[in-house]
Structure formats: C-alpha cells, structure tokens
Amino acid sequence: MTITPSFSSSAPTARFPEETQSAANMNALRDGLAQSDPEIAAALLREEERQRRGLELIPSENYAFPEVLALLGSVFTNKYSEGYPGRRYYGGQENTDIVEELARERAKALFGAEHANVQPLSGSPMNQAVYLGFLEPGDPILAMDLSHGGHLTHGAPVSHMGKLFDFTRYKTDGEGHIDFGAVREAALRTRPKMIVCGHSSYPRDIDYRAFKEIADEVGALTMADVSHTAGFIAAGLLNNPMEAGFDFMTTTTHKSMRGPRGGLILTQKAHAKKLDASVFPGLQGGPHMNQVAATATTLKLVGEGAFKAYARQVLENAKALANALAARQIKLVTGGTENHLMVIDTEASFGMSGDEAQRLLDEIGLTTNKQVIPDDPRPPMRPSGIRLGTPAPTARGMGKSEMESIAAMIASALSADAGKREEMLPALAAEAEALCARFPVPGL
C-alpha cells in the first residue's frame, strides 16, 4: 500500500490507563527535530503514518508503551554506568543504581528467578553472554534447527556462534512438533555441554521439564530463549522454564512485553557472579541506562492486571486467526498455534513463495515477514512461508471478530487469480485502512 502522509496527529486512544501520557512531550521534541533535521523528521512522520494506517502482523513486533518511548529519549541516555549497582567505574550513579536495581528485582519477581541481569543491549548479545560465560570454544551444544523454528543465535551455520561452538540441531517431527525422542537420542549421542530451547517461529508451547530431564541425564546446562513468549510467561499463561529448574532464561524486552529493544537474562544464584562478569566486562561496556530505565518500567507494567488481560487476549486472538485461516483451507505449520504466532505454508496454500506473499500483503497494508518452513527447499530470501502474530493488533484493541476480517483479507489477496489480483488490491487496502482507523496505535 502506498501511503501519502497527511502529517496530522490523531488523539491517543487509551487501551491501558498509562497510554494517555507523554504525547505532549513527544510532540514538542518532534517539532524541534523538524527544525534541526527536516529529512529525518519527515521520515519519522511517514513512519508514524505507515504504522497508523497499516497493521503490523509480524509476531516479533509490537507497539511500545508510551512511557518506554519517553524513557528512551530521556537524560538517562547521557550517563555512562559501567559496572553494577554499588560497584560502578564512574561517579554520579545515585539514580542509575536505583533504576537498575528496580529492573533486576522486578524481573526476578515476575519470572521466579534468583538473579537477573538487565544490561544486555539486545537479544543476540544476551545469548552470546551465556555461551561465552559458561562454555569453551568447540564445546558441543544441542539446539533447535533454524528452519524448524529456532533462531540464528541457536547455532545457525551462518552465525558466529555457529562457527565458534559445535552445534547439533534437533528438528520437529512430521507434524511440526518437537520430537523429544529424537532430542534425547541426539543428546545421548553428542553429550552436549548445553541444551538450548526456545524459538522464533515455533507455534506451540514448550515442555521445559522434558528438556530438563534430558539435560540432567547427560549432565548438560539448560538455556531457554523465550524472547517471543516472555510476556505470556510473566502473565502465567505459558510454561515457565525457571519453574522447571532451568539454569538460564533469556528474553528480549520488546516483542510480547511492549518494552524497549533490549535483552534480559535470568538465572540461579550459583551462576550469578559468572554471568554478570560475562556480560560486563566480558562482552560489552557500559549499559544503555535509558534502555534499562525503560525495561524497569516495562516490567512494572507487565506485572499489572491490564497487561495480563492483554496477554490473554493476544493468545485468544492468535487461536481465532489461526482457526479462521484454516477454515479457508490455508495450511499452517503444526496445524495451528498455542502461542501468539503462526506460520502459513504459502507454497502449499497458494502456490507462491513467502517473499511474494509478503509483498502482496504489504500492498494492502498488512505487514508480515517471509519465513522458512521445516526443511524448506527454498532459499531464505525466497522461502515457502510467511509468519504472522497477534501482539500488535491486540495492543490496538482488536479482538476475535477483527481476526476473522484479517484472515479474509489475507485469503483474498493471496488466492486471487493473478490476472484479477491487481484490480482487487486497492479495495483490500481500503478495507485494511478502514479497520485500522477504528483502532488507533497506542500513543499516536
């Protein structure tokens, strides 16, 4: 969908009580930016308009709490804070220590952990900090194959971690579910020093206790990367790896939690000192204290009732969207979802690659991402699927009936005869924009 920005502001609609705050400050800062760098200001306004008029369906994307945006642009960005609360290498830390300690305590309380490190700059460094802090180069690791739902940092051959450590990659079964018999067999064969679970495109909850039993049998450490599902774990809606006795739980703080882009590591007290040393000074320098402050506030909001209701609605919406797609004979990896995401096999459903499906949906204002499917014969830039999720539309206040409308638009855009498709797309784009107009983006 081609968007011509109107550069007009709509009044913020509160989906949570706190979302009526910060708008005036943001507008003042934007006005100053327009004077100092009009090109960047124009791009910012166009992006606001794109987000307002279109719908984000990428499951790793969400709309940050307005407080998060305010803190990311706060004076905390001016402060170096190398070290940890009470043990910094720079003076003037009386406020940053408070912020980081609040973030750590809130994270521990939310997830039932004994120790938390809130300094990782993003998801990849947080996972690297665990590997590098507790393993030696060349050590064997058992982790999920990328095409079966894993992540680049779980040992994909193109990643640096995949070259530094000896990864064996487990896969799902013919129905797309984790095959624990095969996982155990691989563990007994390779004797990994660490077993990694978690995902970026696996549509099911995870049996962490089954992983822990296998790890205990071979004497392996356990790490769960819950970057996609942390918000639902915090709300008590999905399984919690810390309750299963995992050594490490890593997560990004945006995605399902609506926080800043950053990383968070939870662990047991026995690993605390070594983990902290791996993050700093082992892997990175001073933390970004504006990010840490935003994480602290995010963790407070995630612990409140309004967020728990939101998280529950995200999962209900995901099931509704998956059911509506399946009712239209659209094939989903694993046949459905137990979390917030789903993967459409576009090759089997529409005879088209995922990149082509992504492009067509972009034209009508539905933002998705092309996605490999298990053992995909296609290359990553032209895979056989697309990935969808419901965190962002739910943050706008959409419910089950809107999921039905979204499924209908997706089916119409992708199933239309090629000769008639170009005629249909403008009408579908108008329908998508009308839907979005009823549900404003939080804070815009």
- Condensed to tens digits (0 to 9), the pLDDT of residues 338-391 reads 999 999 999 999 999 999 999 999 999 999 999 999 888 999 899 999 999 999
Binding-site annotation: residue ranges for (6S)-5,6,7,8-tetrahydrofolate: 146, 150-152
Is residue 395 very low, low, confident or very high in pLDDT (cuts 50, 70, 90)? very high
Q: What are the tokens at 311? A: 């998280």
Task: Read off the tokens for 166.
Answer: 């000896």
> Which residues share a beta bridge with 251?
264
pLDDT value at position 418?
78
CATH class of the structural domain 305-437: alpha beta
The residue assigned the tokens 């407080």 is: 67
In this predicted model, which residue has the larger pLDDT, 383 or 24? 383
CATH 3.90.1150.10 region(s) of the chain? 305-437
* Residues 6 or more apart whose Cβ sits within 8 Å of residue 168: 140, 141, 142, 143, 186, 189, 190, 192
* 369-371: strand order across its sheet: 341-345, 385-389, 369-371
- For residue 383, give the nearest of 201, 256, 139, 253 by alpha carbon: 201
**Residue 399 burial (C-beta neighbours within 10 Å; 0-12, 13-18, 19+):** middle
The reply to whether the predicted model has a pTM over 0.85 is yes
Give me the active site residues, please.
Answer: 80, 82, 225, 252, 255, 261
* Beta-carbon contacts of residue 53 (< 8 Å; ≥ 6 apart): 1, 3, 365, 433, 436, 437
Phi, psi of 250 (to 5 degrees): -115, 150
Q: Which helix (H) or strand (E) holds 343?
A: strand 341-345
> Using an 8 Å Cβ cutoff, are 72 and 291 in contact?
yes
Q: What are phi and psi of 338, to 5 degrees?
A: -120, 0
Q: Would you identify the CATH topology of the domain 75-302?
A: Aspartate Aminotransferase; domain 2 (3.40.640)
C-alpha span between 310 and 303 (Å, rounded):
12
Percent share of the chain, pLDDT over 90: 82
Please give the residue that has the higher pLDDT: either 177 or 400. 400
Torsion of CA 52, 57, 61, 62, to 10 degrees: 50
> What is the phi/psi pair of residue 175, to 5°?
-95, 0
* Parts of the chain belonging to CATH 3.40.640.10: 75-302
Residue positions in the annotated binding site? 146, 150-152
Label residue 12 by pLDDT band (50, 70, 90): very low
